[in-house]
Structure 1
Amino acid sequence: MTSSTSQSQWDFGELFRPDETRNVLTVSELTTSIKQTLEENLGNVWVTGEISNFRQQPSGHAYFSLKDQSTQVACVLFRGTRVGQRELINDGQKVVLEGELTVYEPRGQYQLIVRSIESQGVGALQIQFEKL
């Protein structure tokens, strides 16, 4: 093996750049940047899917996932949000949600803060589950 081959084979270049030439962010800075980008570019959205893992808290807030066949997003329904027939919201229900996409910074997790819910009946995933 020649010297130049050995050198290029073990060239770690980018790993050893001086710190002053890299833009190193803290975890908090990265998360804040993601939050700002997400909220500025998507903000208010309408999303359809099925409710899963619905949990009503003593505080009055509700937490659940909105899912389809391949993915899910965390959702929050705060106590003060007025949605019709809140007591009818449950697992397996297909819905159209309107809400604000945001990042919960302590966990670096994106979530949908629900503003309105339209029921679409029982979802296909729930029907498939019940057939098992």
Structure 2
Amino acid sequence: MHHALTAQIERGSQRTGGRRQARNIPGLQARRARAHQSAALDYAARGIRINAVCPGIIHTSMLNSMMATQADALNAMLKDVPIGRLGRPEEIASAVLWLCSSAASFMVGHALAADGGYTIR
């Protein structure tokens, strides 16, 4: 994150993006959330907004191979997703683009869950 922030400061940019994957490892998500929130607080006064996007299960080429060999495992994972389907890469891209837009200019230190409701179940 340090190198990205240094580049943002040098360019005078006010937006930086990142991606965080949700994992069920106790404490890991909390530590990552604190890290991006801490950086957001440190850099907000410089006009740099730091937020995170937390994607759920996204239909990617890597997931295609899992679907071919481990369909039962994928179906079991989808039972935990209230919307009942895989996310699409363009849905995550749209979330990132929105966070980088002026429409989200007051968002600082937010972890945006784009996970089909997984984290609220």
Q: TM-score range by the shorter chain?
A: under 0.3
Rg larger in structure: 1
- Structure with a larger share of its residues in strand: 1
User: What is the TM-score of this pair, normalised by structure 1?
Assistant: 0.22
- Structure with a larger share of its residues in helix: 2
Name the structure, 1 or 2, with higher relative contact order (CA <8 Å, separation 6+). Answer: 2
